[in-house]
Amino acid sequence: MQIGHPRIETRLPPSLMRRIQIQLAYDGSAFHGWQVQPGLPTIQGVLEAIVSGMEGRPVHVAGSGRTDAGVHALGQVAAFSIENPIPLANLRRAVNRLLPPAVRVLSAVEVRADFHPRFDAKAKTYEYRIVREEVCSPFEWPYVHHYPYPLDEDRMERLAQNLEGEHDFTVFAAADDSDAEGRSKVRTVFSSVLEPGSGRLIYRIRGSGFLKHMVRNIVGTLIEAGRGNIVNLAELPSKSGPTAPAKGLFLVSVEY
């Protein structure tokens, strides 16, 4: 689909290429995740179409990580390099005009030329939302996992805390294309907290990095613990509990 937008013909010399970092919020319900996939709507795909059109050439938009299909973001970070001299405030407004309403650029800043939103990240925080009430509002349904059945929340809280520290999280990782490269699945979790509320459970995890489906598999395992099927980490089988639905997961922030 051709996207219309104003063209700015003035160009900077190649040596003055600008590296732009943007912070994004998006409702992932209608998207097949972050990463470009042929013929499918993705966050990266729609951003690259817009920025490439403004620049007049293909532009790669790198993200801090690949959120799965249906996962939301409050503070995703991305970056791209352009020659276009458009002021940052105008750039943000122009991109937001062309984006679907489910995706918003919250901020745009210039950064050093070699900045990479994934490799330079020091920590990420994810949040998973569970509704425990018998009835889930239709206005919450797209953004929570509705689980109204009995759970031992104290056991779930204890298990969540035990995930803190440096561990091999292989048991919580889904198969990934990079597995053939033999990359380490050791990650450091700085905090892992389950917070009960009024008819809600909020799970927050902050770590150095996350494997494919890692947070959703942790949540599925915590639910299994709440059901009484797992008492402690030592009882974990070679596979985690069921993967929790994508719609309850939010990328909250990325730290640099």
| pLDDT tens-digit series, residues 17-50 | 999 999 999 999 999 999 999 999 999 999 999 9
Helices 43-55 and 88-98 meet at what angle, rounded to 10? 120
Same domain, 73 and 137: no
Same domain, 127 and 83: no
- Position 188 scores a pLDDT of 96
Domain hosting residue 203, numbered range: 123-255
Same domain, 152 and 237: yes
Model confidence at 7: pLDDT above 50 = no
Model confidence at 11: pLDDT above 80 = no
- Position 9 scores a pLDDT of 41
Same domain, 136 and 160: yes
Which of residues 91, 111, 131 is at a domain's end?
111
The residues annotated as belonging to the active site are 68
Give mean pLDDT, residues 137-152. 97
Which of residues 65, 81, 111 is at a domain's end?
111
- Position 236 scores a pLDDT of 64
Q: What mean pLDDT, rounded, does the chain reach?
A: 91
- CATH code, 71: 3.30.70.580
Q: How far apart are CA 173 and CA 185, in angstroms?
A: 8
- CATH code, 240: 3.30.70.660
Number of domains in the chain: 2
- Position 241 scores a pLDDT of 82
Cα 129 to chain centroid distance, Å, stands at 14
- Position 253 scores a pLDDT of 98
12 — pLDDT class (breaks 50, 70, 90): very low
Same domain, 69 and 146: no
Give mean pLDDT, residues 154-179. 88
* pLDDT tens, position by position, 174-216: 877 666 677 889 999 999 999 998 899 999 999 999 999 999 9
Same domain, 91 and 132: no
Same domain, 62 and 171: no
- Position 45 scores a pLDDT of 97
Give mean pLDDT, residues 120-135. 97
- Position 124 scores a pLDDT of 98
Residue 8 falls inside a structural domain: no
- Position 101 scores a pLDDT of 97
- Position 122 scores a pLDDT of 97
- How far is residue 77 from each of residues 37, 180, 232, 244, 254, measured CA to CA in Å? 19, 27, 35, 24, 7
Residue 141 falls inside a structural domain: yes
Q: How far apart are CA 103 and CA 164, in angstroms?
A: 32
- Position 119 scores a pLDDT of 96
Q: How far apart are CA 94 and CA 88, in angstroms?
A: 10
Same domain, 99 and 26: yes
117 — pLDDT class (breaks 50, 70, 90): very high
Q: How far apart are CA 211 and CA 182, in angstroms?
A: 13
Residues of the chain with pLDDT > 90, as a percent, come to 82
Same domain, 244 and 127: yes
Q: How many residues does the chain have?
A: 256
Q: Quick one: CA dihedral 81, 31, 101, 119, positive or negative?
A: negative
Same domain, 139 and 248: yes
Q: How far apart are CA 221 and CA 156, in angstroms?
A: 9
Same domain, 146 and 70: no
User: Which DSSP string do the residues of 24-50 spell out, in sequence order?
Assistant: EEE-GGGSS-SS-BTTB--HHHHHHHH
- Position 240 scores a pLDDT of 77
Same domain, 127 and 251: yes
- Position 183 scores a pLDDT of 82
By DSSP bridging, strand 145-146 and strand 123-131 are parallel
Helices 214-226 and 153-161 meet at what angle, rounded to 10? 140
- Position 13 scores a pLDDT of 52
Which of residues 56, 80, 111 is at a domain's end?
111
